[in-house]
Copies of this chain bind each other. A is one copy, B any other.
């Protein structure tokens, strides 16, 4: 079975771990968000790709969900001693090595997809990890500064430095219009048996992937059923601050509203949490088959059960 997953960072990575447990023989291709990539200290950092790679490869810091396990921060301390920031982005020493290798390979002319494949040679994530695009796409968030002036900040600055503490007025994937899907992305979608949207952020993770011209169309036109899992449980994001960016695109923070935001043009099936069972009829009225199941990724077993529910719903849709 060929499964394609459109993944953001922590939520996507944890879902993938459950999916691998639920479908150990499946051929899984992950299309990773690169809109939150950032250049720090002259190095190319790809937080979402790395979170997937480290999580599936056994190198993740389990407690925080991103970055490397058993990490130290000596390089960062030294950079700060030079007065070189930003200090709000927590790059550890082991993590730095990944960005150094990536930057060196990009500088030598390799596209991000080839670099990602090379990094995965070490991590053996058990999935084929593709960046959504080899072209630079950078998610910017429009905010109001103290003086009421509207300005754009990099998504990482909004998310990590500001901790989404000010309203997001708009979310713009800068460069997406000119970006092309990375090699293999459209083929994987066309040949998929199932396409899954994990409980990742619908705006800045899955939404950014869909903003690359050709990908939304390929998902919509794919022969495979497309099933998503709600990142909103009981009117609040399971983790992160998805509600902040949903507001920017005029979408309510409810499981049903997110399903309608994707729409029946994309989604064939949608899973909501048991606590949102009341939303099932609402989602089905929008032309999307819906089931209420437990959606908390408390451990790998619980997550594998969610993945099995998603695959079951996909079979139902197909039948």
A interface residue numbers (CB < 8 A to B):
41-43, 72, 74-79, 81-84, 93-94, 96-98, 100-101, 103-104, 107-108, 119, 121-122
Contacts and interface: CB of A to CB of B under 8 A. Distances in A.
A100 B75 contact: yes
B122 A97 contact: no
A119 B79 CA distance: 11
Most buried by B among A75, A96, A103: A75
Interface of A, helix, strand, loop or mixed by DSSP: helix
A84 B98 contact: no
B74 A93 contact: yes
Given A119-B82, A122-B81, A42 B75 contact: no
Nearest to A122: B82
A112 to B, nearest CB: 15
11 contacts: A43-B100, A72-B93, A74-B93, A74-B97, A75-B75, A75-B96, A77-B97, A78-B94, A79-B97, A82-B119, A83-B121
B79 A94 contact: no
A75 B97 CA distance: 5
Contacts of A81: 97, 122
A41 B104 contact: yes
A117 to B, nearest CB: 13
Contacts of A121: 83
Nearest to A74: B93
A78 B107 contact: no
B72 A103 contact: no
Nearest to A43: B100
Nearest to A118: B82
Contact of A98 (B74, B78, B104): B78
Given A41-B100, A75-B100, A79-B101, 14 more contacts: A41-B104, A42-B104, A42-B107, A72-B72, A72-B74, A74-B94, A74-B97, A75-B93, A76-B97, A78-B93, A78-B94, A81-B122, A82-B122, A93-B93
